[in-house]
Structure 1
Amino acid sequence: MGSGKELLLYVVLCLLEKCASECPLGFNLQDDECTDNNECAGHPDPCGKYTKCINTNGSFYCHCLEGYSNIRGAVNFTGLDGQCQDINECSVPNKCGHGANCTNTIGGFKCTCRLGYANSSVGCVDINECNEAVVRSEEICGANGTCKNLNGTYWCKCDKGFTSFGNDRTPCSALDCNTFSADILPSQSLGGLADILSMMRNSCLALSNPTTASGGRSDGEALLEKLFTATDAILSPDQLESSEDVSGLLGAVENSIRVIGPQLKRNRTRIETNKTDAEIAVQRGQTQPTGPVHLSSENASLDTDWSTAAGAGAYPGFAMAALLSYKNLERSVNGSFEELSGLKKNGVDPLFQIFSRVVSVVVSNPSPQNLSRPVNITLRHLGTEESSEVSYVCAYWSERGAWSTDGCYQQQSNTSHTTCTCEHLSSFAVLMARYPMKHTFGLQLMTKIGLIISLLCLILCILTFKFCRSIQGTRTTIHLHLCVCLFLADLMFLAGISQTQPVAGCRFVAAMLHFFFLGVFTWMLLEGVQLYRMVVLVFNATIRPLYLYLTGYGAPLVILIISAIIRPGGYGTDEHCWLSLNDGLIWSFFGPVCFIIILNIFFFIITVWKLAQKFTSLNPDLSKLHKIRAFTVTAIAQMCILGLMWVFGAFLFEQGPIVVAYIFTILNSLQGALVFIMHCLLSKQVRDEYAHFLSCICTPEKKRYSGFSSTNPSSSQSQASRSGNNTGESQI
């Protein structure tokens, strides 16, 4: 049994051995003979990309092509345990030798000579640009420079007073450092400008007197920061003293940017400080620069091109364009409009106002007054103005220290921006031209006649309140000084509102009008307080005269002093001797006036409410209440007249409809007359005094004497009774 199993196993093994021994792995049976199988000739390639397949007897192996290596490191491998990738030959230092650049390629690399080197049999060798320029009869450094060869390059050593604006390999150009001389200072008081001139002169001299291949250059960014720090110090007081100071500052900053530009390392440089905002673009290396240039800031933008900015090649290989915006300089130049002409409309000269930031445009073009093509400057308005009587004017700051429009034109404008096209470069701004109402002869005549009538009526009021004994009291004192203030204000208005020259006199008139009109409203407030005390306190309602004077004249004086200290230049304008409407000074008048009117309305409401309560009660002394009610009605009417007058007066010196001017003129004319009617003619006590005064004038002398000598007791008693009934406010 056992021998049978062994025999069967032997047969099976023999059959298997016979099948396996026909051809081993890697061989093929051919004509009953095993031959080698060439795996490398199969498809697909068993080794993959960038490889070489090598067949062996019964097997094969893979090898990477030159320029490739196995990712697993083995030199010989099969497709199952390797893969070839490119070798970066340029990672080997100095692969191509000195003066050449190595560029890796798939499976290899190539070497190219750097700029300033030439290919030779021994590799890349230095080119002597200076000798080649001599051979070609060229002056690559210009007539005022010497060429110095360096390994792979060269540099131009400029003579004293010259510099290479583009880089060290551009021709030398003249550099005028005399523009930073202290002799050009507009005034010795502008010390900060002297510091700028001194700093920039030192930098200019260093740049134009090079001793090394660096060309005398310093850190342009640091120098630019110092320039604008010094400029901020000058502009910090918010107002320069004169147009000469403005011209000196603008010129010094523009010349400084021309010197700093070649020393900047970046093609675009932006710097912003508290008082300035600047963007500078430079281009180097191109003999004839081309392409557009766009610079922008929050308040302005510039559109030009490099050929315009560079000019006629005065600085070969270099071009610069800069846009500088001043954040508060418009306050110092909001004047000097004497050179603006030809802008009349309907025979009326416009009133000008700076309506944008002042912007300077600086280019490397040595002739910015003769540009090859105009540039476009877009300026953002400082506010919005939609009146049909307003237009926008593009102007520049001329060398004469005044605004001019020559060569600058408005291209387009809307409520927020104006685009100006200018044929030359300087400092620019948008002016708002407001066309004021042209006062007609009838309006002027009505004003003068009305004010004269008002003054005459106020004189009668002053005499009445001063000499009528029957009405003397706190309220009469208030009316007296209210009329005095109103009389002096109207007199100043009539005599000096249009006398703008001399400036000091105009400012004095504006200050006096400010003081006396504030005095009118302050005495109105005191009248409201007095009425309130009469109704609420009943007894001891009088106010000591000293307190009245301190309040009536002291409060306006304090407001005037504070306003004059804060805004001394706000008193007087080019057209009228009144408060300026441009810098907010007008609110030193309208602010207190609005406050007084609101406070008086409060007092009058309380007074009327208290009177209504007393009338509803069983109060036997109705005559006193009737008098207080009459006082209150006249006080409210007085406040309405004066208050309404200044509602229209607020627009008198602004552009507005002609009807506003006529309403103001009528109300202004009626002030004195209405005060006289309300406080004198409508008062029975005053009418009795007038009648008594007129009877004394009209009665013959003899009859008057007999009247005085009469001893009729009934007559004396009647007169005493009448005198007792006319004690006025003291009885109330």
Structure 2
Amino acid sequence: MLLKWTFLLGLFLPSCSGCASGYTFVKRKCVDIDECVTNPGLCGDHAQCFNTPGSYYCNCNEGFRSETANFTATSGECRDINECIEKTRECIGDMKCVNTIGSFVCVCPPGFHEPTTGPGCEDVDECVSSVCEVHSNCTNTLGSFHCICTPGFLKHENGSCTDKDECKDVPDVCGTNANCSNHQGSYSCKCHEGYSNYGNSQSKCTEMSCDHFESDTEDTPVKLKTLLALLRSSCESLRGPNGHQTGEQLLENLFTFTDELLSGGNIADGKMLNHCLDAVENSMRLIGPQLKDPVTRMETHNTIAEVAVMRGQTPPSGRVTLSTDSALFSTSWETVVGKSYPGFAFAALVSYKDLNSSSDLLHKMSNERSDDKETSVTYQLNSKVVTAVVSNAETKQLSESVTLVFRHVEERVESEGMAYSCVYWDEIEGAWSGRGCKESWSNSTHTVCSCSHLSSFAVLMALYPVKDSFDLVLITQVGLALSLVCLFLCILTFKFCRSIQGTRTSIHLHLSICLFIADLVFLCGITSTHNQVACGIVAGLLHFFFLSAFCWMLLEGVQLYRMVVLVFHTTLKHLYMCAVGYGVPLIIVTISAIAFPAGYGTSRHCWLSLDHYFILSFFVPVCIVISLNCFFFIITVWKLAQKFSSLNPDLSSLHKIRSFTVTAVAQLCVLGGTWVFGFFLFQEDGTEVMLYLFTILNSLQGAFIFIMHCLLSKPVRTEYYTLFVRMCPHKKKVEYSTSSSQRPLRSENSTGESKI
């Protein structure tokens, strides 16, 4: 029975031997086979295996890929991706991409390395380590290096450096006046007797001439003879194979002697200046090649210099610029070298600080050389004198002009009456000359010169007499003529008009006389500059009478002060007034003439000179008079105000004195104010407006006096009308009231002053 049921059950259960692919029969059932476990290398080395029910698939690792996705061992394989070619990854900066299996790396190119901090690459300095052979120098380059043989050695094919025999390989390296000796890596030239390379052993030898360091004149200063003897001794020591350098010491000695020459007043004439400048130029030609440093600068009390030296087998090129505190010198090295190059070249600029102390003689000589003898032209050095020297011996006519920039000693803008010119010291003529030099540009502080030769240079300032314009001359002549007529009428009025006689009238009379004489002398003799003596006399008369006019104005202020403040002493004695009005100006003029007689008369006008502040002998007394009068007028006005406010004022007298005071103040403003405008004319910023105001107001002073003291005075007008009626009898006479209000105000004892 049991066997029967077992047979029937077997008919309905499947057979285990029939499991699908990817499964296995375990314990009477089909179980999935994990191919990734049973066969670990199924997908290869660069892929990962993933099991699925009844199967599996493979995926490539990062950095790899296959032709099909989810492949099996039979359908594909993983291949490396070249990120550097496909540029799926990029490197920073100069780093290079290098592909690896499944990835890539960024590396620096040869000659570079990664810095310790920060990304990118930095150059490796191969020259830090000894990478070059002996007698060669390592030169680092970006990512590499070069080995260059040192001067005097040649590089062979094997890279080694061997000595170069310059005496054989370089033709004429020492010239024909020296013997060449080869050394390890170098050579030297030994000059023949009478020739020198100034201690530069690798330079050609040139003939030495020491004759220009001799002084055969008896008038040569002892100090200059000593300097020339020292330079000749140094020159002689260089004439031969054993010459030695003493450049720095010679330069110091040269400047020491030059300081003594300039400060000792030995530069007395053009001949002496020739000796001095010639000695400096020849000395720099001897000293310059011996200096060791590329640029040497030396400064003493009176001298300053800058010297540039270049050495080498090839001539230098480019620009060379030298400067001192007062000048700048610029040229090309080609101009410095010239046609022949002995192996060295130098350029020097020497500036003399105190050579201008002897410029009085120099500008006199320039004045004698003026083309226009009738025109009084004043010449003045407006820069420091400088000497420019180069190693080129042919500097009389340069192929290329040199440039010199001068700083002005006196800052003045070039105008109609002044011009700058670039000059050099002509040793043959013994004077300043402008041949071969021209002014390129100038302003108030600097002048740029262009010269076709080299010598000692400076900037000459020519001061031309500026002709007065026709307008100013006409205004002056018409105004003075009108003033002379008015002043003459004032003199007649103050002398013969009885109704106004008194102390103030006497003061006005003398004031008018002084102004009349001053204006007459001014009109007739102000331009008499052709005769120096006559011009000085005219200037002295003008000085005296203008000062006298101001002194009489001061007396009027004192008189008003006494009339108001010192009421019991209302008059001044005539003798005392004359002593002040004419004595004080006479004393001032006498002292001025004794102290500086050349101050009377200038090259343009017969008036006081500006030299040595001589003009102050007029302006200082004028300022004192104006200041004192202002003080007296202030006190007078203050006292008048008090009297007007008193209980019982004498109104008629006070009104009269107030009228006198107002007139005196107006007179002070007119006569004194005009000279204030004149003072501003001597300033650097004096304008044309000031010039016209000064001319108009000064020329019309007489007219102002006549208007203030005659036409505006009622008693004078009455006298004028009476005189007019007498002269014209057919006119009807006018009756005048004899009341006290119509009569002229008189004081006791016929003083003509008001009663207070």
TM bucket normalised to smaller? 0.5 to 0.7
Conservation of the 8 A alpha-carbon contact between 1:165 and 1:173: no
The match for 2:324 among 297, 306, 324 is: 297
Conservation of the 8 A alpha-carbon contact between 2:288 and 2:346: no
Conservation of the 8 A alpha-carbon contact between 1:232 and 1:273: no
Report the CA distance shift for 1:314/1:153 in structure 2 as closer, same or farther (over 3 A): closer
The 3-state SS of whatever aligns with 2:640 is helix
**Structure 1 segments unaligned to the other structure (5+ residues):** 1-85, 89-99, 117-123, 186-192, 343-347, 700-718
* Rounded Cα–Cα distance in structure 1 between residues aligned with 2:297 and 2:457: 19
Conservation of the 8 A alpha-carbon contact between 1:220 and 1:265: no
Which amino acid is 1:206 matched to? S
State the Cα distance separating 1:253 from its structure 2 match.
4.7
* Rounded Cα–Cα distance in structure 2 between residues aligned with 1:525 and 1:697: 38
State the Cα distance separating 1:312 from its structure 2 match.
3.5
1:172 alignment counterpart: 206
* Rounded Cα–Cα distance in structure 2 between residues aligned with 1:485 and 1:254: 62
**TM-score (norm. length: structure 2):** 0.60
Are 2:242 and 1:207 aligned?
Answer: no
2:104 alignment counterpart: none
Conservation of the 8 A alpha-carbon contact between 2:746 and 2:753: no
The match for 2:307 among 275, 280, 285 is: 280
Which amino acid is 2:626 matched to? I
1:629 alignment counterpart: 658
Alignment of 1:292-371 (within 5 A): 292-313=319-340, 317-324=344-351, 326=353, 329=356, 332=360, 336=366, 356-371=383-398
State the Cα distance separating 1:471 from its structure 2 match.
7.4
Q: In the TM superposition, what whole-angstrom CA distance separates every residue of 1:691-722 from its partner, at most 9, and x where no partner exists?
A: 999999999xxxxxxxxxxxxxxxxxxx9x98
The 3-state SS of whatever aligns with 1:499 is coil
State the Cα distance separating 1:640 from its structure 2 match.
1.9
* Rounded Cα–Cα distance in structure 2 between residues aligned with 1:589 and 1:241: 35
1:727 alignment counterpart: 751
Conservation of the 8 A alpha-carbon contact between 2:152 and 2:166: no
Q: In the TM superposition, what whole-angstrom CA distance separates every residue of 1:609-646 from its partner, at most 9, and x where no partner exists?
A: 22222222245545554443333223222222223333
Conservation of the 8 A alpha-carbon contact between 1:515 and 1:560: no
Percent identity of the aligned residues?
Answer: 43
Alignment of 1:56-75 (within 5 A): none
1:537 alignment counterpart: 566
1:554 alignment counterpart: 587
Report the CA distance shift for 1:556/1:696 in structure 2 as closer, same or farther (over 3 A): farther
State the Cα distance separating 1:463 from its structure 2 match.
7.2
Which amino acid is 2:483 matched to? S
The 3-state SS of whatever aligns with 2:237 is coil
Report the CA distance shift for 1:725/1:271 in structure 2 as closer, same or farther (over 3 A): same
Are 2:191 and 1:156 aligned?
Answer: yes
Which amino acid is 2:233 matched to? A
Report the CA distance shift for 1:136/1:249 in structure 2 as closer, same or farther (over 3 A): closer
Are 2:452 and 1:419 aligned?
Answer: no
Which amino acid is 1:639 matched to? L
Report the CA distance shift for 1:513/1:463 in structure 2 as closer, same or farther (over 3 A): same
**TM-score (norm. length: structure 1):** 0.61
The 3-state SS of whatever aligns with 1:298 is coil
**Structure 2 segments unaligned to the other structure (5+ residues):** 1-127, 140-146, 154-161, 730-742
The match for 2:641 among 612, 627, 641 is: 612
Q: Which has the higher contact order (CA 8 A, sep 6+)?
A: 1
Conservation of the 8 A alpha-carbon contact between 1:340 and 1:405: no
* Rounded Cα–Cα distance in structure 2 between residues aligned with 1:676 and 1:328: 57
Report the CA distance shift for 1:454/1:166 in structure 2 as closer, same or farther (over 3 A): farther
1:671 alignment counterpart: 701
State the Cα distance separating 1:439 from its structure 2 match.
1.6
Which amino acid is 1:524 matched to? M
Which amino acid is 1:156 matched to? C
State the Cα distance separating 1:457 from its structure 2 match.
4.8
Which amino acid is 1:670 matched to? L
Conservation of the 8 A alpha-carbon contact between 2:560 and 2:636: yes
* Rounded Cα–Cα distance in structure 1 between residues aligned with 2:371 and 2:435: 10
Report the CA distance shift for 1:210/1:352 in structure 2 as closer, same or farther (over 3 A): closer
1:575 alignment counterpart: 604
Which amino acid is 1:377 matched to? L
State the Cα distance separating 1:325 from its structure 2 match.
5.3
Conservation of the 8 A alpha-carbon contact between 1:280 and 1:321: yes
2:67 alignment counterpart: none
State the Cα distance separating 1:223 from its structure 2 match.
1.4
2:402 alignment counterpart: 375
Conservation of the 8 A alpha-carbon contact between 1:395 and 1:403: no
The 3-state SS of whatever aligns with 2:236 is coil
State the Cα distance separating 1:322 from its structure 2 match.
0.8
* Rounded Cα–Cα distance in structure 1 between residues aligned with 2:200 and 2:545: 69
* Rounded Cα–Cα distance in structure 2 between residues aligned with 1:180 and 1:466: 81
Conservation of the 8 A alpha-carbon contact between 1:271 and 1:277: yes
2:114 alignment counterpart: none
State the Cα distance separating 1:466 from its structure 2 match.
7.6
State the Cα distance separating 1:528 from its structure 2 match.
3.1
Conservation of the 8 A alpha-carbon contact between 2:326 and 2:406: yes
Report the CA distance shift for 1:424/1:125 in structure 2 as closer, same or farther (over 3 A): closer
State the Cα distance separating 1:290 from its structure 2 match.
3.0
Alignment of 1:93-242 (within 5 A): 140=175, 142=177, 153-156=188-191, 158-159=193-194, 164-165=197-198, 167=200, 170-175=204-209, 177-178=211-212, 181=215, 183=217, 194-195=221-222, 197-210=224-237, 213-214=242-243, 217=246, 219-234=249-264
Report the CA distance shift for 1:641/1:163 in structure 2 as closer, same or farther (over 3 A): farther
* Rounded Cα–Cα distance in structure 2 between residues aligned with 1:651 and 1:614: 40
Alignment of 1:685-696 (within 5 A): none
